[in-house]
Structure 1
Amino acid sequence: MSIKDLVVPALKDYEYYKAAGQDYRIILNANEHYQNFLGTKLQDDFIDRMKSIDINRYPDPYANRLREKYASLIGVASENLIATSGSDEGITIINNTFMDKDDIAISYEPTFSMYKQAAILAKGKYIGLNSDKEDLSPDIDKLIEEANKNNAKIVYICTPNNPTGYLYSKDEIKKVIDNTKGLVIIDEAYIHFAEDDNMDLLNYSDRVIILRTLSKAFSGAGLRVGFIVANKEIINFLFAAKAPYNLSVTSQTAGEVLVDNHELIEEELKVIKKERDRIVNVLKNYKDILILPLNANFITIKTEKAKKLYEECEKRSISIRSYGDELENVVRITVGSKEENNEVIDVIKEVF
Structure 2
Amino acid sequence: MSIQFDVRTRVREDLRDLVPYDTHPYPNVIRMDLNENPYPFPEAVCQEIIKKLNSDVFTRYPDPGAVELRQALADYNGVAPDNLIAGNGSDELIQLIYLTFGGNDRTVLIPVPTFSMFKIHARITGTGVEEMRTGEDFAVPVQKLVERARAGIDIVVLVSPNNPTGTVIPPEDIMYVLENTSALVIVDEAYFEFKRETIVSHLNRYPNLIVLRTFSKAFGLAGMRVGYLISNESVIKELNKIKQPFNVNSFSQLAARTALKYRQLFDEQIGMIIEEREKLFMELQGLSGVTAFPSQSNFILFRTPVNSDKVYQELLKGGILIRNLGKVPGLEDCLRVTIGKKEENAIFLEKLGVILRDNKE
Q: Which moved more, 1:115-124 or 1:62-71?
A: 115-124
Q: Could you say which residue in structure 2 is the equivalent of 1:185?
A: 186
Question: Aligned AA for 1:26?
Answer: I
Aligned partner of residue 53 in structure 2, secondary structure: helix
The equivalences for 1:150-299 within 5 A come to 151-299=152-300
1:68 is aligned, of 66, 71, 84, to 71
Deviations 1:66-99 (A, max 9, x none): 1101111111110100010010011011111111
Q: Could you say which residue in structure 2 is the equivalent of 1:322?
A: 324
| Cα pair 1:24 1:318 within 8 Å, conserved | no
User: Aligned pair 1:3/2:7, yes or no?
Assistant: yes
RMSD of aligned alpha carbons: 1.6
| Cα pair 1:17 1:113 within 8 Å, conserved | no
Question: Aligned AA for 1:130?
Answer: R
Question: Aligned AA for 1:148?
Answer: R
Question: Aligned AA for 2:77?
Answer: I
Shift of 1:22: 4.3
2:143 is aligned, of 128, 141, 144, to 141
Q: Which moved more, 1:214-223 or 1:172-181?
A: 172-181
Aligned partner of residue 69 in structure 1, secondary structure: helix
1:108 is aligned, of 100, 108, 111, to 111
Aligned partner of residue 59 in structure 1, secondary structure: coil
Q: TM-score, normalised on structure 1? A: 0.94
Shift of 1:234: 0.6
Q: Could you say which residue in structure 2 is the equivalent of 1:28?
A: 32
| Cα pair 1:302 1:330 within 8 Å, conserved | yes
Shift of 1:20: 5.1
Question: Aligned AA for 1:15?
Answer: V
Deviations 1:172-202 (A, max 9, x none): 1011112222100000000110142111221
User: Aligned pair 1:15/2:19, yes or no?
Assistant: yes
Shift of 1:17: 3.0
2:121 is aligned, of 118, 138, 157, to 118
Pick closer, same or farther for the CA change 1:122–1:338 going to 2, 3 Å: same
Aligned partner of residue 299 in structure 1, secondary structure: strand
Give me the whole-angstrom Cα distance separating, in 2, the residues matched to 1:245 and 1:22. 32
Give me the whole-angstrom Cα distance separating, in 2, the residues matched to 1:20 and 1:178. 42
Shift of 1:276: 1.1
| Cα pair 2:216 2:226 within 8 Å, conserved | yes
Q: Which moved more, 1:181-190 or 1:24-33?
A: 24-33
Question: Aligned AA for 1:283?
Answer: L
The equivalences for 1:305-320 within 5 A come to 305=306, 306-320=308-322
Pick closer, same or farther for the CA change 1:147–1:21 going to 2, 3 Å: farther
Deviations 1:269-309 (A, max 9, x none): 11001111121121121352222121000010122223443
| Cα pair 1:32 1:334 within 8 Å, conserved | yes
Question: Aligned AA for 2:179?
Answer: D
Give me the whole-angstrom Cα distance separating, in 1, the residues matched to 2:347 and 2:287. 18
| Cα pair 1:80 1:229 within 8 Å, conserved | yes
Q: Which consecutive residues of structure 2, in runs of 5 or more, have no partner in the other structure?
A: 357-361
Question: Aligned AA for 1:8?
Answer: R
Question: Aligned AA for 1:146?
Answer: R
| Cα pair 2:281 2:294 within 8 Å, conserved | no
| Cα pair 1:137 1:164 within 8 Å, conserved | no
Pick closer, same or farther for the CA change 1:110–1:141 going to 2, 3 Å: same
Aligned length: 349
Pick closer, same or farther for the CA change 1:22–1:219 going to 2, 3 Å: farther
Deviations 1:305-326 (A, max 9, x none): 2344322211112100002322
2:341 is aligned, of 324, 337, 341, to 337
Deviations 1:219-273 (A, max 9, x none): 0001000101000111111111111111111111111111111111112111001
Q: TM-score, normalised on structure 2? A: 0.92
Q: Which moved more, 1:203-212 or 1:308-317?
A: 308-317
Shift of 1:35: 2.2
| Cα pair 1:206 1:231 within 8 Å, conserved | yes
Give me the whole-angstrom Cα distance separating, in 1, the residues matched to 2:21 and 2:182. 29
Q: Could you say which residue in structure 1 is the equivalent of 2:98?
A: 95
| Cα pair 1:20 1:29 within 8 Å, conserved | no
The percentage of counterpart residues that share the same residue type is 34
